[in-house]
Amino acid sequence: MTEITNLSSDVTELILSYLPIPTLVRASTVCKLWQSIISSTTFSATQTQSQSQSHPWFFLYGIHNTSSKNNQSFAFDPLSNRWLRLPTPTFPPHHYSHSCFLGADGFFLITAPNFTYSRILKRSWRSTSPLHFSRINPLLGVFDSGSLLPNFIVVGGVRFIGNLVDIEDRLAVEIYTPDSDSWQLGPPLPADFRSGNSSQSLSSALFKGRFYVFGIYSCFISSFDLHTNAWSQVQTLRPPGVVFSFLVGCRDRLVLAGICNGPLGSSFNLWRIEEATMEFSEIAIMPHDLLCSLFEGDEEDKFASLKCVGLGNLIYVFNEEYHKKYPACVCEISSETRQCSWRRVPPLPSPVNKFHQVISFCSTVSLNSILQPEEEEGHVGPMQPMVD
C-alpha cells in the first residue's frame, strides 16, 4: 500500500480538490505541503471555484433589538451538509439602524447614514463616498466589472434623512464604481412599484447583466439593464394560484419560487422563467411532508413567515420564525439533468437565540477569501479573520 506522503503533489492536489471548504481549512494545518497546495491561488481558483458557484453557502444573521450580545451569525455549507457558527460581525463605530443592515453575495452592508461594506468572512469595513440618497431597506446587488473591488447597485428603499424617513420619495437607482469611488444616478423604480418599493415587499435577482425587481405579492416584474441604465416595461408574472413568490437568479436560469393554492391544498412550487418572454414553466414541487416540517399547527397565515433565497444550483426555503429554531430545506437543480432534488437542512447548532429580525442570503465562498489576509487600505474598524 502506498502511503499518502509518497504520492506526487499533482495526485495530492487532485484528492484535496474533492474536499469541502471547511475540511480544506483544517487540512491546510496538517503539513507544509498541504498548506502550500491549499493556500495557492491556482488551487483556490481552479478547484474550489466550481464548488462555490454551483453550491453557494446559506448565511443567516439574527438580530436582537435590545441586546446585541444575543445577535448570532451562521453559515451553512451544502457540500459538507453542516452549519458553521460564525463570530458576530463587529460594526463600524457610527450609529446604524437594523433596517440599514443587509447581506448580498459575498458582503455584509450598511446603507445609512453612511454606505459601508465588509466581506462576509472578514471583519474589515470599508466606506464609500456618500450615496446621493441615504436609504433603508433597499434592494442591493453585487457585480464584477474587472476591478479588484466590488460594484454595487442600490434600488428603491426608503429615504433616510436625519434619522427620519420619507416613504413618498421614489429614489433613483445608484451604481457604485470603485475605481472612481463614485455613485452614478439612474432612473428610479417604475411607478408601478410605488405601493411597495423596499426589500420588505420586493425580491431581486442579478442575471445576465440585468437587475430584476419582482413584487412578492403584486407579481410585477421589471429589469434594469446595467449597460444602458434603463428599465424594461413592467409586466405581471403570476402563475395560477400563486399567493406570494420570490425571484431567484440561479446559475443558468431565472426561477420563481412561492406558495401556490391548488385543488389539493397549498404547495411550494418552482417555475423556470424565460427572461426574453417572461413565460413560465413548472419545474418542481416541494414534497408535502417537507413543507409541513417547516411549520407547527394549521394557522391560516402560517406561510407568511416563509422566505426563499438562492444562487448557483441551490434554492433555500426557510421559516424565519423562532418557534422551530428557523427550520430550512434546500432544492438542488442538477446542471446535467435539470432534475430537482429536495432535502432538509440540519438544525442550527445550539444554543439558538430568539431574534427580532433575520438577515438571510446566499453567497459564493472561496478558499482564498478565508485563508488570504485582506488588504488593510481604506478599512474602518478592527480587522480580524471571521472564521470560527
Given a contact cutoff of 8 angstroms between Cβ atoms, the answer to whether 324 and 346 are in contact is no
Residue of higher predicted confidence among 32 and 246:
246
Cα 262 → chain centroid? 30
* Continuous H helices in the chain: 9-16, 21-27, 32-39, 41-46, 49-54, 288-292, 367-371
Q: Let me know whether 367 and 315 are in one domain.
A: yes
Cα 344 → chain centroid? 19
Average pLDDT score over the chain: 85
pLDDT of residue 383: 32
What is the residue range of 152's domain? 53-371
Q: Let me know whether 299 and 322 are in one domain.
A: yes
pLDDT of residue 50: 63
Q: Is 80 exceeded by the pLDDT of residue 175?
A: yes
pLDDT of residue 290: 94
CATH number assigned to the domain comprising residue 366: 2.120.10.80
Q: Let me know whether 18 and 113 are in one domain.
A: no
- Backbone φ and ψ of 33, nearest 5°: -65, -50
Best CA proximity match to 221, nearest among 176, 271, 166, 165: 271
- Quick check: is 4 in a domain? no
Q: Let me know whether 41 and 150 are in one domain.
A: no
pLDDT of residue 319: 92
The three cell numbers of residue 197 are 418599493
- Quick check: is 384 in a domain? no
pLDDT of residue 243: 94
pLDDT of residue 164: 54
Q: What is the pLDDT of residues 349-363, one digit of tens each?
A: 999 988 888 889 999
- Quick check: is 339 in a domain? yes
Q: Is 80 exceeded by the pLDDT of residue 248?
A: yes
Q: Let me know whether 144 and 68 are in one domain.
A: yes
- Quick check: is 2 in a domain? no
Q: Is 70 exceeded by the pLDDT of residue 367?
A: yes
pTM above 0.85, yes or no: yes
- The pLDDT > 70 percentage for the chain reads 86
* Continuous H helices in 40-192: 41-46, 49-54
What mean pLDDT is predicted for residues 74-85? Answer: 93
Q: Let me know whether 29 and 167 are in one domain.
A: no
What mean pLDDT is predicted for residues 55-65? Answer: 89
- Quick check: is 378 in a domain? no
pLDDT of residue 66: 80
- How many whole angstroms separate alpha carbon 280 and alpha carbon 269? 12
pLDDT of residue 322: 73
pLDDT of residue 98: 65
Residue 300: exposed, middle, or buried by beta-carbon count in 10 A (0-12, 13-18, 19+)? exposed
pLDDT of residue 159: 79
- How many whole angstroms separate alpha carbon 218 and alpha carbon 113? 30
- Quick check: is 168 in a domain? yes
Q: Let me know whether 215 and 281 are in one domain.
A: yes
Amino acid at the residue 327: P
Residue of higher predicted confidence among 178 and 197:
178
Confidence of residue 379 (pLDDT cuts 50, 70, 90): very low
Q: Let me know whether 207 and 232 are in one domain.
A: yes
Q: Let me know whether 42 and 164 are in one domain.
A: no
- Quick check: is 385 in a domain? no
- Backbone φ and ψ of 113, nearest 5°: -75, -20
Q: Let me know whether 62 and 190 are in one domain.
A: yes
- Quick check: is 68 in a domain? yes
Q: What angle do CA 120, 53, 77 make, to 5 degrees?
A: 55
Q: Let me know whether 38 and 97 are in one domain.
A: no
What are the distances in angstroms from CA 363 to CA 120, 141, 318, 386? 9, 12, 16, 15
Query: Of all helices (H) and strands (E), which one includes residue 233?
Result: none
Q: Is 60 exceeded by the pLDDT of residue 387?
A: no
Q: How many domains does the chain have?
A: 2
pLDDT of residue 146: 76
Confidence of residue 87 (pLDDT cuts 50, 70, 90): confident
Given a contact cutoff of 8 angstroms between Cβ atoms, the answer to whether 75 and 58 are in contact is yes
Q: What is the pLDDT of residues 142-164, one digit of tens each?
A: 998 777 889 999 998 887 665 55
Q: What is the pLDDT of residues 306-343, one digit of tens each?
A: 999 999 999 999 998 877 789 999 999 987 777 899 99
Q: Let me know whether 197 and 268 are in one domain.
A: yes
pLDDT of residue 388: 44
The three cell numbers of residue 241 are 394560484
